[in-house]
């Protein structure tokens, strides 16, 4: 069976974490269950449950319609709750980017886990431990040396290393190019050299280069190119394990973000993530509001390309405002063109920031406040570390 990682949510197949335990002692935040959103201590990362559920269901429908399996990537949210939502409650078939995530989700009852990262041969014993305790723990590689490392550490107990060949179909990060003769040699070596120790599961590609795009058409073109490159490679080489495109591994789509909206992957109403922040000062002589959200709660993602802080977030419901300053714990807001109406934003009032990159913003928060009808209905605790 051949596999292709093709990402409507354009996730980055990575985020390595060392810590497997939830990062926030639940007792410290459990008091906020049932609280009104605007009473939360700020900055606070919030997730609209209705929107996240709709995003999850739509992706399942999309995959059903495409006739491919959905293997959700959990690296954006890094939570068991998000994994449950994305797998429709089955806890089976996810992609992770770090060993810490793999352990965390395995401890949480998940199985059929793909470590969607070049197999860390320096930590092979950890990989072997996961392969032994799980029904299916998949790794990927793009080097013969990595295959040799796996063969030097057979799993025994009737277990085999489940290996995907990582292809680089234009993303220019990890992977062997499908046009490179080494790709076929490596695929054949994985498939045939030690069938009792290693099994070729399929091939894997990532459309990370869509990050550089604008517009759904361009993204679809890249996705099509990637798909064709993989399928041509598969068709050209008679390795029975490779038949058709069978899986999609999106990750960002549960939350979406400003970047995905700009890329055309989603509509503004599909973005479930916000960072709530309070106005903590009025500075009339500069026409600026000071808010209690800095890069420590938002990240600096989106500030590139000369955009500065205003690229890092949009202010929900206030297109007239723009973020003009970000330090560790402070944000500065200005009116985009006219006069700041300070009366509309009293000190203590709460604004909701729509982050540019959900993966980056989520990584800054020890807890996510999941809400419905204006109240906190759940607390999600992400894993961290590597």
* Ranges within 211-240 binding a copy of itself (CB under 8 A): none
Count CB neighbours of 373 within 10 A: 8
10 Å CB burial of residue 27 (0-12, 13-18, 19+) is exposed
d(CA 186, CA 167): 11
d(CA 113, CA 136): 6
Choice from 108, 144, 154, 366 touching a copy of itself (CB under 8 A)? 366
Choice from 125, 348, 373, 374 touching a copy of itself (CB under 8 A)? 348
Parallel/antiparallel/unpaired status of strands 69-70 and 313-315: unpaired
In angstroms, give the least distance from the CB of 200 to a copy of itself: 20
Cis ω before 43 (30° cut-off from 0): yes
Closest CA to 24 of 367, 376, 368: 367
**Pattern of binders to a copy of itself over 56-85, x per CB under 8 A?**
-------------------x----------
In angstroms, give the least distance from the CB of 311 to a copy of itself: 10
In angstroms, give the least distance from the CB of 57 to a copy of itself: 26
The two three-digit tokens of residue 343, written as one number: 């009366």
Q: Residue 245 or residue 265: which is nearer to a copy of itself going by CB?
A: 265
Q: Are 5 and 167 in contact (CB under 8 A)?
A: no
In angstroms, give the least distance from the CB of 58 to a copy of itself: 24
Choice from 94, 359, 370, 376 touching a copy of itself (CB under 8 A)? 359
360 near a copy of itself, judged by CB under 8 A: yes
Choice from 90, 232, 269, 327 touching a copy of itself (CB under 8 A)? 327
List binders of a copy of itself among 288-307 (CB under 8 A). 290, 292, 294-297, 299-301, 303-306
List binders of a copy of itself among 15-34 (CB under 8 A). 15-16, 18-21, 23-25, 28-29
Q: What is residue 363's DSSP assignment?
A: T
The two three-digit tokens of residue 119, written as one number: 């197999």
Paired strand residues for 251: none
Choice from 36, 41, 192, 377 touching a copy of itself (CB under 8 A)? 41
Q: Residue 13 or residue 83: which is nearer to a copy of itself going by CB?
A: 13
Q: What is residue 179's DSSP assignment?
A: T
d(CA 288, CA 175): 47
List binders of a copy of itself among 109-168 (CB under 8 A). 117-118, 120-123, 142-143, 145, 168
DSSP output for 288-307: EEEES--HHHH-STT-TTTT
Instruction: Check the CA dihedral 228-233-239-241 and report its sign.
Output: negative
Choice from 34, 238, 328, 339 touching a copy of itself (CB under 8 A)? 328
In angstroms, give the least distance from the CB of 353 to a copy of itself: 14
Q: Residue 264 or residue 366: which is nearer to a copy of itself going by CB?
A: 366
Region of 201 on the Ramachandran plot (φ > 0 left; ψ -120 to 50 alpha; else beta): alpha
List binders of a copy of itself among 169-208 (CB under 8 A). 172-174, 177, 180, 208
12 near a copy of itself, judged by CB under 8 A: yes
Choice from 329, 372, 375, 378 touching a copy of itself (CB under 8 A)? 329
Stretch touching a copy of itself by CB under 8 A, among 83-91, 190-198, 258-266, 365-373:
365-373
Count CB neighbours of 244 within 10 A: 15
Q: Residue 49 or residue 384: which is nearer to a copy of itself going by CB?
A: 384
Q: Residue 261 or residue 277: which is nearer to a copy of itself going by CB?
A: 277
Helical H runs in the chain?
26-30, 49-66, 80-86, 99-107, 124-133, 144-151, 181-192, 216-236, 258-263, 295-298, 358-362
Stretch touching a copy of itself by CB under 8 A, among 41-49, 60-68, 217-225, 256-264:
41-49
**Pattern of binders to a copy of itself over 236-265, x per CB under 8 A?**
------------------------------
Phi, psi for 251 (deg, rounded to 5): -135, -45
């Amino acid at each position: 069976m051949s596999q292709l990682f093709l990402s409507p949510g354009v996730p980055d197949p990575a985020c390595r974490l060392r810590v497997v335990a939830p990062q926030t002692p639940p007792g410290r935040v459990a008091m906020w269950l049932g609280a009104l959103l605007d009473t939360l201590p700020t900055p606070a990362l919030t997730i609209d449950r209705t929107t996240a559920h709709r995003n999850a269901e739509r992706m399942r429908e999309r995959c059903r319609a495409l006739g491919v399996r959905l293997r959700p990537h959990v690296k954006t949210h890094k939570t068991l709750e998000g994994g449950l939502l994305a797998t429709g409650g089955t806890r089976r078939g996810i992609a992770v980017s770090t060993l810490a995530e793999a352990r965390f989700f395995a401890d949480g009852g998940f199985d059929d886990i793909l470590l969607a990262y070049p197999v860390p041969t320096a930590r092979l014993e950890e990989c072997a431990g996961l392969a032994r305790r799980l029904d299916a723990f998949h790794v990927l590689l793009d080097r013969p040396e990595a295959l040799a490392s796996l063969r030097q550490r057979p799993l025994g107990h009737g277990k085999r290393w489940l290996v995907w060949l990582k292809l680089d179909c234009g993303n220019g990060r990890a992977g062997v190019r499908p046009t490179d003769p080494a790709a076929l040699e490596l695929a054949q070596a994985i498939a045939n050299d030690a069938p009792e120790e290693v099994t070729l599961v399929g091939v894997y590609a990532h459309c990370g280069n869509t990050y550089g795009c604008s517009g759904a058409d361009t993204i679809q073109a890249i996705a099509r190119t990637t798909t064709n490159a993989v399928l041509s490679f598969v068709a050209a080489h008679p390795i029975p394990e490779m038949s058709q495109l069978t899986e999609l591994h999106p990750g960002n789509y549960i939350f979406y973000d400003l970047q995905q909206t700009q890329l055309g992957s989603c509509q503004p109403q599909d973005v479930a993530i916000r960072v709530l922040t309070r106005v903590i000062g009025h500075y009339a002589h500069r026409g600026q509001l000071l808010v209690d959200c800095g890069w420590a709660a938002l990240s600096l993602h989106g500030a590139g390309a000369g955009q500065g802080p205003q690229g890092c977030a949009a202010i929900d419901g206030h297109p007239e405002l723009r973020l003009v300053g970000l330090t560790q714990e402070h944000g500065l807001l200005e009116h985009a063109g006219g006069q700041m109406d300070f009366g509309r934003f009293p000190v203590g009032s709460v604004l909701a920031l729509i982050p540019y990159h959900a993966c980056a913003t989520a990584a800054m928060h020890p807890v996510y406040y999941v809400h419905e009808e204006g109240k906190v209905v759940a607390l999600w605790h992400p894993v961290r570390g590597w």
